[in-house]
Structure formats: C-alpha cells, structure tokens
Amino acid sequence: MAESQKSSRVDFSQIQQKDSAVLPQPKGKNPKLPAFQKEKSKKFSVKKRPPPKEYNRPNDIYIGERSTFESQIVKCRKLLDGDVYNEIFLHGLGKAIPKTINLAIKVKDIYFGTVDHSVNTTTVKLIDDLVPLDGETQPSQQHRTTSSVLIRVFRKVDIP
C-alpha cells in the first residue's frame, strides 16, 4: 500500500516548469505603445497647453492640482458671504476632480446645509504641442481628452 501511494504522488513544481516551457506566452499581455508615443519619446518634447477656460466670471473658481485646499475654502467663503453672489461655480479637471468634490462638500458643511450643489461632468479636449528635439522633424500636435467636473454651489436659504 505504501508503494502505490508513492507512485501516485505528483511533483507539481516539475509540471509547472514543463508547462511554462511548452506553452507560448500570450501576445496580449505585453504592453505596446501607440506609434505616436514611440515617436514622441524619441524625437519630441511634449509641451502641454493650458486647458481652455469656458467661463471667466468672478464667481467661477478653477481648482488645480497644486492649489491649496484652505485657500480655495477662503475664496468660496468670500464669494458666498458677500451680498453679490448667491452661487459659485467650481471647475475641476483631471486629477483635481476629487479635490473639487471635497471642496463642494466642505463648503456645504461650513454653511450647515444652507447651501446645496449640483454636479455636471464633461469631457474636455486638450492639445499638446510636440516640439522636435532634432532639426529634421516637423513640429506636430497631439490631441487627448480628459474628464472635468462643474459643481454649482448655491444658497437654499436666503440670509438677511
């Protein structure tokens, strides 16, 4: 009985080594760069243009990735505490979207629920300039898209 148990034992490490040597690697697993990125990395320097600003009103606040949270809160409070504006618009793009959402929630908490917000999401087209590193190639442009959010923060209750 001991002999039959020994013969039925299988060493899985040997099977895995044999199978990996026999089976070809899947082709879809290797990441391949698009042609423009291969070209860009060798011959071009990327200069990102600033994103387009749709609105230029005094009650529009554009939230950037590097802007400090506290300064944005102060700016929101100045606009809402004044008698001029009953609503502000917070704009966030790409990596700044979570910060923009958190800012809207924080402003709502600061005013104890007397303000509310509505959210719109869109996609923005951006243009990058590809500046050649050598004198042989022509400058070109690269088009890409990114997500953006527009949050309208408005008063629910009029404060006398």
Please, are residues 155 and 114 in contact by the beta-carbon 8 Å criterion? yes
Per domain, the residue ranges of the chain are 34-155
pTM passes above 0.75: no
Q: Which amino acid is at 7?
A: S
> How confident is the model at residue 31, as a pLDDT?
55
pLDDT band at 21; cut points 50, 70, 90: very low
- Superfamily (CATH) of domain 34-155: Alba-like domain (3.30.110.20)
Gap between the Cα atoms of 81 and 159, Å rounded: 9
DSSP state for residue 114 in the 8-state scheme: S
> How confident is the model at residue 28, as a pLDDT?
54
